[in-house]
Amino acid sequence: FADLVSRAAIKARCHYVNKKWLGGMLTNWSTTKKGLYKFRDLKIKQKMGRLKQLNKRDVTRLKRKLAHLQEYLGGIKYMTRLPDIVIILDQHKEYIALLECITLGIP
């Protein structure tokens, strides 16, 4: 199910969350934005080979953090502002997402 969501969203060039919704992802947007900056920064460092300059323990820690950020923020990594609309497929499972959208007035 999660794979179908990600493929459809990528095809439509939309942002998506196909894993667990992180509480406060929208209502605490400033913190989420900081996480997105860290994620993009780590990706750039990895592509440029700067992680190889660190010791083995730090590289392992950063790769684990990068995998975690990819899993939860990978679908919104280029999101720069709050969305105009949110589509929730399972309202019972993603109740927190629904509450955040209601709080912010996002349809």
Q: Where are the domains of the chain?
A: 1-104
Residue linked to tokens 């994620």: 39
Alpha-carbon span 53 to 49, nearest angstrom: 8
DSSP summary character for residue 106:
-
Kindly report, residue by residue over 32-89, the tens digit of the pLDDT: 999 899 899 988 988 888 878 888 898 889 889 999 989 888 999 999 999 999 999 8
Instruction: Record the tokens describing residue 71, joined without a space.
Output: 């899993």
Per DSSP, helices labelled H in the chain are: 2-11, 29-48, 56-73, 95-104
Q: How confident is the model at residue 20 (pLDDT cuts 50, 70, 90)?
A: confident
